[in-house]
Structure 1
Amino acid sequence: MNGNRRSKYPLFPAPSLPRLLLLALFFLAGVILGQVLAGRVPAETGTELNRYLEDYVQLNGQTGRSATAALSAVVIYFRYPLLAFLLGFASIGVVLLPCVTVAYGFFLSFSVCCFTAAFGPDGVLLALAVFGLRCAVTLPCYFLLAVPSWGTSAALAAVSFGKGRRCAPVTYGRACWLRLGLSAAVLLAGVCVDLLLSPALLGMMLERIL
């Protein structure tokens, strides 16, 4: 009885490990693709990135806690996890979720590689200041939502294209909303910490590098 109560509302359904591994491989493929394409970025990008970061720090020093900055941080933190959650309600998610996962890995890797190419070894620290907290918060939330969503979207696709065959009904249940609520709470906490710490941390890194 106790064991049944503990597993009544699992955060991950039972057959989730293969989907988690596959999505992780898609993410890794995006990371590798980002590294490959970042190597073709022109050398002039370093000067442009330098100027952009200086403007960014100056702007955030003035409006780092403004409504615009807060809205931008919310969008940055929530876009991939929320998209992963919503795709679980559509059969097309069975195709789009791997694509979104590849895109997530690609843009993250490409951005980090651009920092490294522009600033050398110090670019790693700079990228850590910009993306470190964000990745630590958004990546677990993304996979927490994407793995079950891929399963439900696959079930919806089976129902849609089953050609009359009997398919089990697609249910979401309490665990689905529990995952969303937990992820939203963690993401909002990350946004608050990011707004408070990131501009100052990035400013310190730029002073050291520039």
Structure 2
Amino acid sequence: MKWKRREVTEWRRQLSRLLFLALFFFAGIVLGQVFSSRVPDATGDELARYLTDFLKLGEGDPAPRTVLSAAALYFRYPLAAFLLSFASIGVLLLPLVTGAFGFFLSFSVCCFTAAFGPGGVLLALAVFGLRCAVTLPCYFLLAVPALERSAALACLSLGGGRRSAPVDYGRKWWSRLAVISGALAAGMCADLTLAPWVLRQLLERILA
């Protein structure tokens, strides 16, 4: 009975941390929408040129530079969450990183929509859809326990190590990292393979 109560209590704590970070993520989305309204009209032409150049670079096997760029896009936020789990300052920075994640995602999608109209939604889906489907759950699966560990480190720092349990980075933590890294790598490979083809089909219809 006590074990079940502890499990329920831990589940509630994890949910509260998830909701806390989700609030910052949605706040970033709102800010991204606000700032995207100030983007000049010439952005549409710039985006069209960018997408055309992107497709030219994506012809044939992906270049090392393309692979590195894709890796940065897929791993940057989950990696930031992982690293911040080892620092007490993470309890302050993790909400800000989560807000930045929502801001730049929302800003980018809104720019596509403003530049290309209804077709911009499909373009944004082709560019960001698979990446978001992979990186968002992976990020929160790391960020929630990372927030717990960074908060525990902050308590240890402020309390001088007294009345605080040691921070656990056991096998479960590293197994989670390994599984998430594999999922991110698989998503990145699928994105490099599928996204250029889908984007090319949409651009031929929208920019024709």
Relative to the length of structure 2, the TM-score reads 0.92
State the Cα deviation string for residues 151-178 of structure 1 (Å, max 9, x = none): 0000000100125642111112111111
> Does 2:79 correspond to 1:82?
yes
State the Cα deviation string for residues 71-93 of structure 1 (Å, max 9, x = none): 21111101100110110000000
Ranked by relative contact order (alpha carbons within 8 Å, sequence separation 6 or more), the top structure is 1
**Which residue pairs with 1:155 in the alignment?**
152
Relative to the length of structure 1, the TM-score reads 0.91
**Which residue pairs with 1:10 in the alignment?**
none
Bigger drift between 180-189 and 156-165 goes to 156-165
> Does 2:63 correspond to 1:66?
yes
**Which residue pairs with 1:169 in the alignment?**
166
The AA in structure 2 aligned to 1:150 is L
In structure 1, distance between residues paired with 2:57 and 2:128: 18
The AA in structure 2 aligned to 1:204 is Q
5+ residue gaps, structure 1, are: 8-12
SS of residue matched to 1:61? coil
Bigger drift between 176-185 and 133-142 goes to 176-185
The AA in structure 2 aligned to 1:57 is L
5+ residue gaps, structure 2, are: none
In structure 2, distance between residues paired with 1:126 and 1:78: 22
State how 1:89-128 maps to structure 2 within 5 Å: 89-128=86-125
- Calculate percent identity across the aligned residue pairs: 64
**Which residue pairs with 1:55 in the alignment?**
53
The AA in structure 2 aligned to 1:22 is F
**Which residue pairs with 1:46 in the alignment?**
44
Q: Give how far 1:54 is off.
A: 1.2
In structure 1, distance between residues paired with 2:20 and 2:161: 29
In structure 1, distance between residues paired with 2:68 and 2:41: 33
Aligned residues: 200
In structure 1, distance between residues paired with 2:124 and 2:199: 9
In structure 1, distance between residues paired with 2:65 and 2:42: 30
In structure 1, distance between residues paired with 2:26 and 2:78: 17
SS of residue matched to 2:38? coil
**Which residue pairs with 1:180 in the alignment?**
177
> Does 2:205 correspond to 1:208?
yes
In structure 2, distance between residues paired with 1:58 and 1:173: 45
The AA in structure 2 aligned to 1:122 is G
